[in-house]
Structure 1
Amino acid sequence: MSQPFFDPVSGLHGLDWHSQQARVPVIALHGWLDNAASFSVIAPMLSHHRIIAVDLPGHGKSPWKSIDADYAIWGYTDVLWQVCQQFGQPIHLLSHSMGSAVAMFLGAAFPELLASVVMLDAAGPLTTPEDRLAHQLREGVLAQQQALRPSRRFIDFNQALSARLRGSSELTGDCISPVVERNLRSVVDTEAGNGELEWSTDPRLRLASHLRLTESQVRATLAAIKAPVMAIRAADGLIPEAMFKDRLGVIDDCRFVECPGHHHFHLDASTAPAIADCIAAFWLEVEGEGV
Structure 2
Amino acid sequence: METEQAAEAEECAWEVDGLRFAGLAWGPEDGTPVLALHGWMDHAGSFAELAPRLTGCRVMAPDLSGQGLSGHRAAHATYNIWDDLPQLVGLLDLWDWDDCVLLGHSRGANIASLFAAALPEAVRAYVALDSLAPQPIGEDVAATLRAFVQETRFRRSRPPRLFESPGDYIRRRGDKGNAERTGEALAARALVETPHGFRMRGDPRLFASSAVKLSQAQVESVLRAIRSPVLNIWASEGTLHLRPENAGVAERGAELIEDYARLELPGDHHFHLDPATAEPMAAAILDFLDRKGVR
The one-letter code of the counterpart of 1:245 is A
Kindly state the Cα deviation for residue 137 of structure 1 after the two structures are TM-superposed. 1.1
Determine the structure 2 residue equivalent to 1:192: none
Kindly state the Cα deviation for residue 162 of structure 1 after the two structures are TM-superposed. 1.6
Kindly state the Cα deviation for residue 254 of structure 1 after the two structures are TM-superposed. 1.2
Residue 148 to residue 126, structure 1, CA distance change in 2 (3 Å): farther
In the alignment, the residues of structure 1 paired with residue 210 and residue 277 of structure 2 have an alpha-carbon distance, to the nearest angstrom, of 33
Q: For 1:98-141, what per-residue CA distance to the aligned partner results, in whole angstroms no more than 9, with x for missing partners? A: 001100111111112111110001031132212x1111112212
In the alignment, the residues of structure 2 paired with residue 76 and residue 179 of structure 1 have an alpha-carbon distance, to the nearest angstrom, of 21
CA contact (8 A) 2:230 2:261 kept: yes
1:1-291 equivalent positions in 2, closer than 5 A: 1-9=8-16, 11-19=20-28, 22=31, 24-86=32-94, 87-130=96-139, 132-146=140-154, 147-168=156-177, 171-189=178-196, 196-239=197-240, 240=244, 242-249=247-254, 250-287=256-293
CA contact (8 A) 1:148 1:203 kept: no
The one-letter code of the counterpart of 1:123 is L
Where in structure 1 do 4 or more consecutive aligned residues deviate above 4 Å? none
**Greater shift after overlay, 9-18 or 239-248?**
239-248
Q: Name stretches of at least 5 consecutive residues in structure 2 with no aligned partner.
A: 1-7
In the alignment, the residues of structure 2 paired with residue 158 and residue 242 of structure 1 have an alpha-carbon distance, to the nearest angstrom, of 34
In the alignment, the residues of structure 2 paired with residue 181 and residue 221 of structure 1 have an alpha-carbon distance, to the nearest angstrom, of 35
TM-score by length of 1: 0.90
The one-letter code of the counterpart of 1:200 is R
Residue 175 to residue 139, structure 1, CA distance change in 2 (3 Å): closer
Residue 20 to residue 109, structure 1, CA distance change in 2 (3 Å): closer
In the alignment, the residues of structure 2 paired with residue 26 and residue 115 of structure 1 have an alpha-carbon distance, to the nearest angstrom, of 9
Residue 119 to residue 60, structure 1, CA distance change in 2 (3 Å): same
Q: Secondary structure at the match of 2:149?
A: helix
- The two structures, once aligned, show a CA RMSD in angstroms of 1.8
Q: Secondary structure at the match of 2:86?
A: helix
TM-score by length of 2: 0.89
Kindly state the Cα deviation for residue 69 of structure 1 after the two structures are TM-superposed. 0.8
Residue 244 to residue 208, structure 1, CA distance change in 2 (3 Å): closer
Q: Secondary structure at the match of 1:160?
A: helix
Kindly state the Cα deviation for residue 52 of structure 1 after the two structures are TM-superposed. 0.9
Kindly state the Cα deviation for residue 88 of structure 1 after the two structures are TM-superposed. 3.4
The one-letter code of the counterpart of 1:248 is G
Q: Secondary structure at the match of 1:137?
A: helix
Determine the structure 2 residue equivalent to 1:193: none
CA contact (8 A) 1:148 1:204 kept: no
CA contact (8 A) 1:96 1:121 kept: yes
Q: Secondary structure at the match of 1:181?
A: helix
Residue 49 to residue 213, structure 1, CA distance change in 2 (3 Å): same
In the alignment, the residues of structure 2 paired with residue 145 and residue 159 of structure 1 have an alpha-carbon distance, to the nearest angstrom, of 27
Kindly state the Cα deviation for residue 236 of structure 1 after the two structures are TM-superposed. 1.6
